[in-house]
Amino acid sequence: MKEKVLEKFLRYIAIDTASDPDSESQPSTQKQLNLSALLVKELKEMGIENASLDEFGYVMATIPSNLPGGKKVPVIGFIAHVDSAPDAPGANINPQIIKNYDGNDIVISKEKKMTMKVEEFPELTAYKGQTLITTDGNTLLAADDKAGIAEIMTAAEYIMKHPEFLHGVIKIGFTPDEEVGRGVDKFDVKRFGADYAYTMDGGQIGELEYENFNAASAKIYIQGRNIHPGYAKNKMINAIILASEFNSVLPVEQRPEFTQDYEGFYHIIRFEGSVEYATIQYIIRDHSTAEFEAKKCFIEEAITFMNMKYGEGTFKLEMKDQYYNMRKQVEPHYHVVEKAIKAMEMAGVKPLIKPIRGGTDGARLSFMGLPCPNIFAGGHNFHGRYEYIPLESMEKASEVILNVIKLYAQE
């Protein structure tokens, strides 16, 4: 299974699938369809003839039950997303494969003088003796979430090649645009047809999450006034300076680099502008609904304050909710969490139940009527040039998928 998941992972990361937050299309980039079409082709080659790709970029497939006597068990789905993060280079990925990792610092790129130091990434020591896949320092790795795709595809191939493996109806889904918050905008839960599902989109081996941040985005438009600097006194309004001032109003200790666990944050993700005009964008996150609402109110109050200071209309705000904490949707069906815990233990993996400091397609799907916890895909340092994944973690993730299916088949 190890060779299979590696082969698939390397094939999938070779396809550029970066999504685009500024695009209004669905999917946001047509290149995502290149991988989606390949996945449909591979699923059909496995013998899953009903695999399909729709106009919105969703891949769906069904493996029929083979349980004797027509036994009925819950229909279980497994979901991953095809797109990679748009905020780091994702084309021409050239991975490095480090076999029998020695536990020491890893040179990512001699040319760029990039070294992944154990002192800074102490979790590396847990993977001594394993096979690590890293970037070459020029791109991200796209393990988020092509590792999840490879793990699901490997498990599906195993099932189709081993008719003695008993299972109920299994649903497979691959979505576009998760990285830009639109992964399930047009996902048809009824057509998918699962009773419960799991996203394979978590981090290190053992991670299991059924609660996540509440999330909102905020885009702020700032109108300045450009005057020749030689005659600017009492006339110029520099939009760049005003944007910087607004950012300074937000609490420094509530930036992501100073928070952890259940602590929420304001994260500035884009700043563009000139003297005349500027825009700044934030993502707002908190596990607590009350704290989440308070953070949004603080942004609105800060806008009001800045307009009182510089004139009505100087600052304009667009803020919208993106997703909510799935905990209250999953807890009434807690057996989905218990099954995942048991499946990990069967694979010799220690479950690490923790809140997601982010969100997954599963968070929104849970509110759409499909309880959907998140299981590890195995990667570290997503969205950047220091991204890596242990091959053995991917192998274990595929094993966990099979174990979950086995547990439901035994009900």
What ranges in 162-237 are assigned the alpha helix state H? 189-192
List beta partners, residue 321. Answer: 216
CA angle 157, 160, 165 (to 5 degrees): 110
CA angle 195, 56, 325 (to 5 degrees): 50
Measured on CA atoms in the order 395, 401, 404, 410, is the torsion positive or negative? negative
Burial of 329 (0-12, 13-18, 19+ CB in 10 A): buried
CB proximity list for 18: less than 8 A, separation 6 or greater? 29, 31, 83, 84, 85, 86, 90, 91, 179
Query: CA 325, 331, 332, 336: dihedral to nearest 10 degrees?
Result: 110
DSSP assignment of 340-351, as one string?
HHHHHHHTT---
What is the C-alpha separation between 255 and 263, in angstroms, rounded? 10
Which of helix, strand or coil describes residue 111?
Answer: coil
Q: Is 97:104 a contact under the CB 8 Å cutoff?
A: no
Strand order in the sheet with 59-63: 52-53, 59-63, 170-175, 76-81, 196-202, 374-376, 207-209, 352-353
H/E stretch holding 296: helix 289-310
Which of helix, strand or coil describes residue 352?
Answer: strand
* AA letter at 59: V
Catalytic center residues: 83, 178
Q: Is 351:69 a contact under the CB 8 Å cutoff?
A: no
Report helix, strand and coil shares of the chain as percent, to nearest 5.
35, 25, 40
What is the C-alpha separation between 360 and 283, in angstroms, rounded? 15
What is the C-alpha separation between 65 and 197, in angstroms, rounded? 16
